[in-house]
């Protein structure tokens, strides 16, 4: 009887500790450079590195402002058109989501996921204000008088929302890069 209760107590206290130690070891493997990892962890590092590389392609499309004044002076959201950004984002999303799903739960996975989510949110809001420059001559011109004042006010703040999402994505990518480059973790 004493042996069974001792075994039960041991399993209740040591099993969670062992699981925690394994998850800490995994996070440590992901934060090192690929050449520092043995073969067993290299697949996770490759997935994280490829995800980071893909997300950096999107980062090259957008403009990251350091301040509100800097954004107001320029006013541009990206280096590319909305359509080009949307296409790039769709490609990157189809690449990154499967890789993220294969990564173990860690701070690195969270930061990479946050960067992707911020780009997707920015795209959502940018779509709200995107106005294609194609004119359809067979239909009557659209009237802006049908807009409510509240719609006009909301739409005027959307560029700031988009720029904020780009900045959040940039911060998440920087944190992910720091996690990947920390020695000894």
Residues of the chain with pLDDT under 50: 5-25, 27, 29-40, 184-185
According to the model, what pLDDT value does residue 11 have?
47
Is residue 5 assigned to a domain?
no
Is residue 135 assigned to a domain?
no
Is residue 166 assigned to a domain?
yes
- What gap in Å lies between CA 140 and CA 57, rounded to an integer? 40
According to the model, what pLDDT value does residue 136 have?
58
According to the model, what pLDDT value does residue 70 have?
86
Q: Residues 80-103: pLDDT tens digits?
A: 999 999 999 999 999 999 999 999
According to the model, what pLDDT value does residue 185 have?
42
Is residue 80 assigned to a domain?
yes
Is residue 185 assigned to a domain?
no
Q: What count of other Cβ atoms lies within 10 Å of the Cβ of residue 185? A: 15
According to the model, what pLDDT value does residue 135 have?
55
Is residue 143 assigned to a domain?
no
Is residue 138 assigned to a domain?
no
According to the model, what pLDDT value does residue 167 have?
93
Domain containing 47 equals 28-130+150-179
Q: Kindly report the pTM of this predicted structure.
A: 0.67
Q: The domain that contains 51 carries what CATH number? A: 1.20.120
Domain count, the chain: 1
């Amino acid at each position: 009887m004493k042996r069974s209760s001792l075994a039960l107590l041991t399993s209740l206290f040591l099993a969670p500790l062992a699981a925690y130690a394994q998850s800490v070891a995994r996070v440590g493997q992901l934060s090192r450079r690929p050449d520092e990892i043995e073969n067993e962890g290299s697949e996770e590092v490759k997935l994280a590195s490829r995800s980071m590389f893909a997300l950096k392609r999107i980062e090259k499309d957008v403009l990251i402002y350091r301040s509100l004044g800097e954004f107001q002076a320029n006013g541009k959201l990206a280096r590319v058109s909305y359509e080009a950004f949307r296409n790039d984002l769709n490609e990157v999303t189809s690449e990154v989501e499967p890789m993220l799903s294969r990564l173990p739960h860690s701070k690195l996975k969270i930061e990479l996921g946050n960067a992707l989510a911020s780009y997707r949110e920015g795209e959502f809001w940018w779509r709200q204000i995107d106005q294609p420059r194609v004119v359809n001559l067979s239909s009557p011109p659209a009237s802006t008088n049908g807009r409510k004042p509240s719609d006009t006010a909301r739409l005027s703040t959307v560029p700031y929302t988009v720029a904020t999402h780009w900045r959040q994505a940039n911060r998440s990518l920087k944190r992910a890069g720091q996690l990947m480059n920390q020695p000894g973790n």
